[in-house]
Amino acid sequence: MSAPSLPDQAARAVELGLTGDEYARIVVDLGREPNDVELAMFSLMWSEHCGYKHSRKLLRTLPTEGPRLVLGPGENAGAVDVGGGTAVAFKVESHNHPSAVEPFQGAATGVGGILRDVFAVGARPIAVLDSLRFGEPSSERSRYLFEGAVAGIGHYGNSIGVPTVGGEVYFEAPYEANCLVNAMCVGLASQERLIRSAAAGPGNLLVLLGASTGRDGIGGASVLASAELGEGDQLKRPSVQIGDPFAESELLECSLDLLDRDLLVALQDLGAAGLTSSASEMAEKGGVGADVDVARVPLREPGMAAWEIMISESQERMLCVVTPDRLDAVLAVCERWQVPATAIGEITDSGRLRVLDDGAVVADLPVPILVDCPLYDLEPDPPAAPPYPAPARTLDSADPGDALVALLESPNLASRLPVFEQYDPIVQSRTVRRPAQADAAVLVLDPAAGDGPAIAMSLDGNGRRVACHPRRGAAEAVYECAANLAAAGAEPLGLTNCLNFGNPEKPHVAWQLEQAVAGLAEACRALGVPVVGGNVSLYNESPDGPIYPSPIVGMVGELPEAARAGRLAFHRDGDAIALVGAFRPSLHGSELAKLRGAALATIPAPDPEAIRHAHTAVRDAVRHGRVRSAHDVAEGGLALALAESALAGGHGAEVDLPVLGDRDTTLFGEAFGAAFVVSGDAADLRSLPGAVVIGRVGGDGLRIAVGGEPALHRTLEELGHAFEAGLARLFS
């Protein structure tokens, strides 16, 4: 087929998501026009999803060094040292745009993709967490997306045998057109078995493992993940990948077996941009070239063109580098696991990625040009007017008891058990604290021992508060995640993040992104926690406007004894209750403010030193058994934290809160990651730094006074009914 003329090819480039200037740069760098195969490859590799062209410069400002760091940014997943020669690998990624088009498969393949990222570095996946955002549940579309995404996550995780141990779900109007589906995976590996993705050794073979290649997912990274969604999204349904968790299970076991036998030089999963990204990125990291012959690629659909094969995002595939003398051994292991394996190319010393079709060259590109897309400077400018309208008012009562009931039954705060019950949280027998038992999930490192060292993990974010103040809100996400670990008794070792924002070419979105990254960096440095990797998802925007700026933070920590992991439930009548932390609550950006229809307003600045001291005090108290429950104060404020601890344990409480502003601010004001509600023996609680005893556990209800003045009293039965019904009613 003859190459189109320059104007036609330039127009085709724009159709594929490149700009006119980017196409012109490609022509200059190559010294010629790209052919159709090459243009398709560039359209994916230079997309926002693959190239991070509006965010890479900002990501370089995040702290990425730490004493326990084993693998940092740039690999499929980051990893930290948990002692005894063991590493914990983890990462969070988005599958937002596919899930907005086809929620079941979009969410399911999001789980599959993040699992592959973890076992691509040689770690066995042991846990999944998810962070979900949808429009208001009054919307039929949002309920459809919610049900489909939850079902997809449960289907994939349950089928492959990896427990889903935590996560979050929120409903806000700005996510109506663009839902967020972020998935985090955590895995374990011997540090000696960890493998990198850099290709090496000219003459070594490229071997494709796993499922055959089809047209599913073609253009996903450019069509779906690097552009705004609007009218006609249903036509993009073919760009959503189709997952097979049972095939992935075999691929997982096969990959780990190959690594155990030391048969691989390098390993890389096939995600966005398929063979194009995996082959070119492996070559770039190793400073080598690669030849790929598409005629050797096993196909699921006949008649696929070379460009389709190179950018297909079919799931459950891995690419590995193998020395020729070990090929037969690799194929034998793959046959044992019933995983198809085919040598499709070889490593070269050319520094070029050549695509062959039965030996004929159909694409020939210098690896650096393909991988190093243009990087853009943002043009940030704060919005002249609030970009988000005030939410609809749903609460008119001024009675604090009514407010607490309304908060407990609101979709953002109601019990998540209707969601978690669709996931298996205990498969693999490591789970010590499952969802709703503690602020963070806790898994023991050695399930055979039943106790001993454990790891805790949490996934958090609050877009509404980031919209109120991007820098402070993003920092709060870090502090909140670390607070969840502290309440479980764990010390944070590393952090992964997923940055979900609107169109970065718009000044106010660029400002949100720039400020949020600065807030993340500030909080990570304050806590001494390195960023080990993550993901960026931009263009989450529709004609109605952008989503709330939503940096999602995942964190992993360690605790010495699984048996001492914290719980959030009040445990025993007569126990004292204390507030720990320098708590300075505000109603700005709070859940109560949303229910009352208040516009977004600036949230207070967090106090990093006070937060660090509070985390240390609670973490140490949990580890040494000086508290019987620990729960951080977040959405809904002190009143909600007390209600959740009471409901979780089936024990009421009577407290008298210190005055922290007016009555509603004291009860429902928020300041994330800054304070904890703990219970235990009064003498033990008074020994905690900064602790103030505020009441005791007991009774069949929750009775709260503020500064000695009665504020609210509701029975556990009434509170429990609201809490349990809030989210359950959304499932058909």
Helix crossing, 716-728 with 400-409: angle to 10°? 40
What proportions of the chain, in percent to the nearest 5, are helix, strand and coil? 40, 25, 40
Query: Is 508 part of the annotated catalytic residue set?
Result: no
Return the half-sphere exposure (C-beta side, CA atoms, 13 A cut-off) of residue 697: 29
Q: How many CB atoms neighbour CB 261 within 10 A?
A: 13
User: How far is CA 392 from each of CA 9, 172, 190, 452, 597, rounded to the nearest angstrom?
Assistant: 48, 11, 52, 49, 5
Is-contact 437 487, C-beta < 8 A? no
Question: Which of the following is catalytic: 95, 155, 508, 615?
Answer: 95
Query: What 3 state SS string does 168-199 have?
Result: EEEECHHHCCCCEEEEEEEEEEEHHHCCCCCC
Q: 570-579 as b/e, with b when 16 or more CB fall inside 10 Å?
A: bbeeebbbbb
Return the half-sphere exposure (C-beta side, CA atoms, 13 A cut-off) of residue 643: 35
- Rounded to 5 degrees, φ, ψ at 461 are 175, 160
Is-contact 243 110, C-beta < 8 A? no
- Angle 248-249-253 from CA coordinates, rounded to 5°: 115
Map residue 626 onto helix, strand or coil: coil
Please, which residues bridge with residue 86 across strands? 190
Element (H, E) at 725: helix 716-728
Query: Is 713 part of the annotated catalytic residue set?
Result: no
Query: By CB neighbour count within 10 A (0-12 exposed, 13-18 middle, 19+ buried), where does 501 fall?
Result: buried
Question: Which of the following is catalytic: 49, 155, 508, 651?
Answer: 49
Q: Which ranges constitute the DSSP H helices of 316-460?
A: 327-336, 367-371, 400-409, 417-420
How many whole angstroms separate alpha carbon 28 and alpha carbon 429? Answer: 57
Q: Which ranges constitute the DSSP H helices of 442-492?
A: 463-468, 470-488
Element (H, E) at 146: helix 140-160
User: How far is CA 540 from each of CA 117, 174, 543, 546, rounded to the nearest angstrom?
Assistant: 23, 10, 11, 6
Map residue 469 onto helix, strand or coil: coil
Is-contact 628 576, C-beta < 8 A? no
- Please choose, from the candidates 318, 724, 415, 409, the residue with its C-alpha nearest in 3D space to the C-alpha of residue 591: 409
Map residue 536 onto helix, strand or coil: strand
Q: Which ranges constitute the DSSP H helices of 489-571?
A: 507-527
Residues with active-site annotation? 49, 95
